[in-house]
Amino acid sequence: MKSIVILISGRGSNMEAIVNAGIPGARIAAVISNRPDAKGLAFAAARGIPTAVVDHKAFPSREAFDAALAETIDTHGAELVVLAGFMRVLTDDFVRRYEGRLMNIHPSLLPSFPGLHTHRRALEAGVRVHGATVHFVTPTLDCGPIVIQAVVPVLADDDESRLAARVLAQEHRIYPQAVRWFVDGRIGFDAHGRVRLSGEAAAGGGCTVPALDG
């Protein structure tokens, strides 16, 4: 069993999708929030998953908060730390401590639209496709090795909330898939630090996109 700790800041729908996926070989060891009022905490508790709050407002600095967060994560023996709508920028020390086992989901097709308000910015830019990205976290924000992406069309009558909902539905598909690949030990890196899935065909006679399991 691989122990997974999920960090949330709010609604927690991606955390729910990962829990509901019932990934074989994975144990959700804890759900931790930096906000005491995060809605997702109730879902986790109702499922019997240990929850904890490390309130960033209670710490004098980012470093002190991250140290307390790491201590709480390590209490649960996390082999994978999953950021699921966790809205705090993490220090380099924290990120390095969990290098290669710290994943994030970002609501855009990275490297397009890092940072906040991705759906609004996609609409403003007039892109025809948008989406979501699961990636490993590195010290540079929204920049680490990409594990999986999902693409959605941008429709003529979209507003921010319609587009966000279409992207979110895909987030709920790809995040459990990324976690499943990690738990199955299928994720490796090539010489350039890019993600390679074991069993994935090397790009040869055309474009290869890994199929989702199941």
The reply on whether position 81 binds ligand GAR by CB under 6 A is no
Tokens (6 digits) for 143: 């920049």
Q: Which of 10, 100, 139, 210 binds ligand GAR (CB under 6 A)?
A: 10
Residue 155, token pair as written in the block: 């429709």
Which candidate, 48, 36, 13, 214, places its Cα nearest to that of 132? Answer: 13
Q: Which residue is nearest to ligand GAR (CB)?
A: 85
Contact characters 33-72, ligand GAR, x per CB under 6 A: ----------------------------------------
Each residue 82-121 as x (binds ligand GAR by CB under 6 A) or -, in order, gives: --xx-------------------xxx--------------
Q: Which residue pairs from 45-53 have beta carbons closer than 8 angstroms and sit at least 24 positions apart in sequence? A: 47/19, 49/19, 50/76
**Closest distance of CB 169 from ligand GAR, Å:** 11
CA distances to 14, 114, 135, 150, 159 from 81, rounded to whole Å, are 13, 20, 12, 21, 33
Residues in 157-176 that interact with ligand GAR by CB under 6 A: 168, 171
All residues at 6 or more sequence positions from 67 whose CB lies less than 8 Å from its CB, including other chains: none
Residues lying near ligand GAR in the complex (CB under 6 A) are found at 8, 10-14, 84-85, 105-107, 168, 171
